[in-house]
Amino acid sequence: MTQPFDIIPSAVRNSLFNKSQFRADLTIVSSPILAYKKCLKEATRKMDAWFAQGMTIEELVLARAWLIDQVLRLTWEHLDWSKGCEATLLAVGGYGRGELHPGSDIDILILLAEDHYQQHQETIERFLTLPWDMGLQVSSSVRSLNDCASLAAHDLTIITNLMESRVICGPASLHKQLLKRIDSSKMWPGKAYLQAKFDEQRTRHKKYNDTEYDLEPNIKSSPGGLRDLHMLGWVARRHYGTHDLAELLELGFLTGDEYEQLQSCRAFLWQVRWSLHRLAGRCEDRLLFDHQRTLASQFGYQDRKGALAVEQFMQRYFRTVMVLSQLNDLLLQHFDDDILSADSPQQGSPINERFRVVNNYIEAVGSKVFANYPPAILEMFVLITRDQSIQGPTAETIRLIRDHQLLVDDNFRKDPRCTRLFLELMRAPFALTITLRRMARYGILGRYLPEFGQIIGQMQYDLFHTYTVDAHTLLLIKYLRSFSDSDSVERFPVAARMIHKIPKPELLYLAGLYHDIGKGRGGDHSQIGAIEAKKFCRVHGLNKEDTSLIVWLVREHLSMSMTAQKKDLSDPWVIKDFARRVGTRERLKYLYLLTVADINATNPGLWNGWRASLLQQLFWQTHRLLKRGVDNLPQINEQIALTKQRAMDLLAHLGIQEEAISYQWDQFDDEYFLRHQSDEISWQTAAILSHQTDEPLIIIPEVPAGYEQQGSKVFVYTRDQTNLFAATVVAFHRLRLAIQEARIITSRTNYSLDTYTVLEEDGSAIGDNAGRIDEIKSHLLCVLQAPDRFPDLIRRRTPRLLRYFNHKPQVVLSSQIEPRQTVLDINATDRPGLLALIGKTFTELALQVHGAKIATFGEKVEDRFIIADSTGEPISDATVCRLICTALLKVLKKVSGLDAIA
């Protein structure tokens, strides 16, 4: 069989391994293993130098495989195989292809003619031990011809490995017998093999969320990775008998340009993989955050305005794998047509003079369709969304689209026929998301909307944004579309209702398409996106009202999320300010839908019952106020009286006397009744009145069925002390509970009424777990009986992903006029125990905490506190403000450099 090493220059071979010199070295060392190790170490050093000097990666990858061949061949030849053992040493898998990176497994097979080979076991074991002694990562198997044939017939991985086998040493006749035994005429015919590989690829892609754009992708196995390229080679080898993708040119499956693109993509991925293996010092195919910055530097990228070096490097990676995915789709569709569907009758029906449907795939009627009528490029995508039976374009049509994408120029974008078609596409009854993804993959969406083209493959180097900007955008539209499905009612009850109450869903999709389009340019991406959205609306002839809504949604797409997660929704002024910002109930519905979809498409781990409840609360409170009229907000006294009356009615049903209730309530300021709902006031009052001891009262009320994920309330009623908040926060951390919100009220009799909303540290709910609830109560009671004995902070390891981020902390103090209070905003890098340290610092600064909103976004925390001085008054002295900020910044900078705190 032809060896794959012909392209390696003879000078390279001689430099890597000179057999004569090596034999001479063997005579002067105490152990042959030492000579092998020296040879391998020197060869590795040379290959690293050649890589740095720019030797082609193809030569390097093949050269390493060739080198290992020489070592294994020499080792094999030094053993005694003369005792009637007919054996051949084969390279299989990637090594069989001649592709060997620094950390790649060296897959070998000792192929034997006979089934019984116990008499040769000692020789075989000795041979297999030697490479390990040399430091080589060898993955080996020993099988007879019969074993191979039997296993290969039922195992897709084994048949694939054997297909790629080649002889290192030993009789080639044995290998020829193997190839004959596993031929497609005997097992795994082309059709069965392709179908199995199709299924295998779908399973593999699903494991990686069917996206090329994972922030820590696997360069080998993720969609668009090297394994997709291998898939094409395997099918070509199995069905067409070629191991060289270049031969697909002759078969008409690839054009010259497409083949060059495949080669270019493979070369870049090989370069990254080679560097990654050397950097990790082992076989590592995951582009982890640990390595991305270093690789970006090695590949020559530097930070620039709007884009870090690592983001530029990863954008090149993502664009590379997107091209590879395009070509993978194209060739697999060709294989489908030529292999799986070859025997199917061609069932075709015309759609119009430009397109027809053939076996559920849309096909251009001729090669000049797009050249003669460029708007047909968009027309084809529109037609796909009008017929649910159409599964996509045929392979030849995909190629035509790719070949004619340059027709999508300024004239195309301004053509009224094209703008009408694009708007029609956004009104699609079916398959809008997958169609937009196809347009992006085939290069059309990025050309039709150049501003979208700028964000293709653009990553954001943080833990908050799980996907690239373009992948996130299209996923957002998928969520918006899904709200109409019956399956969404349980998870998104409000969104599932509101999606049917907006008059023009296509405006929502367009706002989604543009909401992040300004990222990567520097400046406020919401404002940049709003400008781009306005240009789009003007070119596409949208009326003034529709334009105003889209532009407003893009500009304000973060406002609802930020208000819900960072502000006190029990404050009527917060609701009033937000309602004024929104203006109408119709805009509120659009913004709510966009916000829910945005959060879910940003990071699957972000959406939980707590965030859902915050957004629902903000939505309904704002909706009621807009219905009543923003300026018709009830007077504070009226609102307090109404809340008290409702709570009084609930308590009356429990048989509690009005006199006792009034006496207790006289101890509370109006703030308590403004910041709590009537049902909360009811059960808290009942618990306080029935509490007959001086020890702290701790209540964790039962969460109604269906609302567990919104978090559990922990109510603490105890005599106020200086470090009560800090001690409580530390206690929660020791319990591995994450505080979401804190409302802290001090009575006129110096008792603290604190209500914490908590979730488990992993975001799950406590629910009705009686054992866990007793544990929480017991630990809190122990801590709060003596909060002056501040619990020690325990050291806890910082999670791997957090260690690679260290944002400059920010501390901002501001005075709020209505209501009069001091607001402290802290933005910092998340670390275990950070909130506990902040609470401890509050104690040292003699600060009171009246409220807190705790928000974590990936590796960032954005916490807001309502604080006061030791007398409970807002802080206005500039010197004191500077002292507070300085002290907190010192703590935040210190903790960001610590390995572990809790």
Mean pLDDT of 225-229: 94
Tell me the C-alpha distance between 511 and 345, whole Å: 44
Two tokens at 711?
A: 């978090």
Tokens 């050249």 belong to residue: 371
* Burial bucket for residue 542 (CB in 10 Å: 0-12, 13-18, 19+): buried
Length of the chain: 902
Alpha-helical (H) ranges within 556-669 are: 559-566, 572-582, 585-602, 609-628, 636-653, 658-665
Cα(393)–Cα(832) distance, integer angstroms: 51
- What pLDDT, on a 0 to 100 scale, did the predictor assign at position 899? 39
Task: Give bridge partners of residue 167 from the DSSP assignment.
Answer: 90
Give this prediction's pTM: 0.83
pLDDT tens for 92-116 read: 999 999 999 999 999 999 999 887 7
pLDDT over 70 at 83, yes or no:
no
Per-residue burial over 190-203, b if 16 or more Cβ lie within 10 Å, else e, is: bbebbeebbebbee
Element housing 199 (H / E):
helix 190-207
Q: Residue 901: is its pLDDT beyond 50?
A: no
Encode pLDDT of 854-866 as tens digits.
888 777 888 888 8
Identify the pLDDT of residue 799.
65
Residue 897's SS3 state is coil
pLDDT at position 2: 47
pLDDT greater than 50 at residue 1: no
Whole-number mean pLDDT of the chain?
Answer: 89
Structural tokens at position 53: 């000097």
Residue 551 CA to residue 544 CA, distance in Å, equals 10
Of residues 264 and 897, the one with the higher pLDDT is 264
Nearest 5 degrees, angle CA 477-CA 482-CA 484? Answer: 120
SS3 call for 703: coil
Write the CB contacts of 294 (distance below 8 Å, at least 6 apart in sequence).
279
Handedness of CA 217, 220, 225, 231 (dihedral sign): negative
Give the lowest-confidence range in 76-90, 300-314, 422-436, 792-806.
792-806
Tokens of 83: 């005792």
Q: Is the pLDDT of residue 492 over 70?
A: yes
How far apart CA 851 and CA 857 sit, in angstroms, is 20
The alpha carbon dihedral of 284, 288, 293, 296 has a sign of: positive
Cis-peptide, bond into residue 809, ω within 30° of zero: no
SS3 for 75? helix
Q: Are 614 and 564 in contact (CB under 8 A)?
A: yes
Q: For 394-418, how does the pLDDT look when each residue is reduced to its tens digit (9 = 90+)?
A: 989 999 999 999 999 999 999 999 9
pLDDT in tens, 774-809: 999 999 999 888 777 755 555 556 666 666 677 788
Q: Which parts of 236-335 fold into alpha helices (H)?
A: 247-250, 256-280, 289-298, 309-335
- Please give the residue that has the higher pLDDT: either 223 or 802: 223
Tell me how far CA of residue 8 lies from CA of 16, 90, 281, 284, in angstroms. 11, 21, 25, 26
Question: Would you give the distance in Å from CA 831 to the centre of its chain?
Answer: 21
Q: How confident is the model at residue 252 (pLDDT cuts 50, 70, 90)?
A: confident
Please name the residue ranges forming H helices in 415-557.
Answer: 416-426, 432-441, 445-448, 450-453, 469-482, 493-498, 505-514, 525-539, 544-555
Q: What's the pLDDT score for residue 571?
A: 84
Q: How far apart are CA 481 and CA 873, in angstroms?
A: 49
Question: CA angle 883-886-892, nearest 5°?
Answer: 140
